[in-house]
Amino acid sequence: MTPTTTNHHTPILYMGPIRGGTDHIYRNTFADHFDGYDLAVAPFINCIGTNKIRRKYVKGLLPENNTGMPVIPQILSKSAEGFVLLANYLTDMGYDTINWNIGCPYPQVARKQRGSGLLPHTDKIRQFLDTAIPKLHGDLTIKTRLGREHKDELFTLIPVFNEYPVKEIIIHPRTGKQMYEGIPDVEAFETCLSMCKHPVVYNGDIRTADDFYRLSGRFPTITRWMIGRWALVDPYLPMVIKTGKESTTNKIEKMKTFHDDLYNQYTRVLHGPSHIIDRMKGLMMSFSLAFKENKKALKKIKKARTPEQYEAVVHHFFDEEAVWKY
Ligand SMILES: Cc1cc2nc3c(=O)[nH]c(=O)nc-3n(C[C@H](O)[C@H](O)[C@H](O)COP(=O)(O)O)c2cc1C
């Protein structure tokens, strides 16, 4: 692994939003154990129309719950009015930038013309920006894909974005229909980049430092990069990318300590052992991908029913079985 890039900027790395993965507990705990990320975009919250917003609704975004790293809240909405209400509420809480999610690929979201479902509707996006932007108290960034069905949907939209004071555009170069299948279309990303007047953040399939160096060599003007799933698998990745150095010794031990800290934090905030175990099992499904020969251990972890069983199988895995893949 060598940084063969001609891109000499120190990359600015964003923790990608993974709903059910990168919540505030995870973000804070990550920052206590690992370096490398400069900021996080939080998983989306839904806009709730013109209903009164209660603090409880934005609990995961309360500044006192987000001390680990700078955060940009994200809202999923097709209604400019609802978006503005929620965004300004968050700005009043101290966030100067809010991200608009028009990339979510899930059919139940997209069918309602939200997330990537909005991408074929240039006129609706224009209306949204026309209404929302003058009323927003803070800055707006956008997270998007190439389109819902076709990549040229974003080619049509970028000239629209160019007309508005959008702070940056985060592009995951797949269509919504693709979900997470196939290879990110870097040619289409390149076209978007050449068309876009706003700063662009690249996002998609940075699994290793070599992936990053390949991409940053190809896109020397990009300074901002978002990593989602693959740092949830290998939390050392952002730091390795930043420093160009293969990380640290005792990786497995440190991973176990990170796991245990997460477990303790979730035990404090989640109610009932099954919620805690389910949350941790979800994280372990990601973590386990960083290890070789993990199938047997995973099976046992999935079967655990009580905290005691869960702790025993996970500790056995980290202490006796885990072999780091990277
Ligand atoms: C389970 C899951 C949940 C996600 N939740 C969000 C979300 O709340 N908001 C968002 O903008 N993207 C979300 N994403 C997309 C990721 O942020 C990212 O764009 C995508 O995974 C591609 O980047 P990666 O290859 O670095 O993971 C989610 C992805 C997954 C797999």
This prediction's pTM:
0.96
Of all protein residues, the one whose alpha carbon is nearest to atom 12 of ligand 1 is 17
173 close to ligand 1 (CB < 6 Angstrom): no
76 close to ligand 1 (CB < 6 Angstrom): no
Mean pLDDT of 144-155: 97
102 close to ligand 1 (CB < 6 Angstrom): no
Position 226 scores a pLDDT of: 98
pLDDT digits (tens, 9 = 90+) for 266-314: 999 999 999 999 999 999 999 999 999 788 889 999 999 999 999 999 9
Mean pLDDT of 242-265: 92
Name the DSSP class of 233.
Answer: H
pLDDT digits (tens, 9 = 90+) for 3-12: 544 556 799 9
204 close to ligand 1 (CB < 6 Angstrom): yes
Which atom belonging to ligand 1 lies closest to the Cα atom of 170? 19
Position 4 scores a pLDDT of: 47
Position 3 scores a pLDDT of: 53
CA of 228 to the centre of ligand 1 (A): 6
Mean pLDDT of 43-49: 93
pLDDT for residue 152 is more than 90: yes
Which atom belonging to ligand 1 lies closest to the Cα atom of 231? 26
pLDDT digits (tens, 9 = 90+) for 95-137: 999 999 999 999 999 999 999 999 999 999 999 999 999 999 9
Position 248 scores a pLDDT of: 76
**DSSP letter string over 209-268?**
HHHHHHHHHH-TT--EEEE-HHHHH-TTHHHHHHH-S---S-HHHHHHHHHHHHHHHHHH
Distance of alpha carbon 225 from alpha carbon 263, whole angstroms: 29
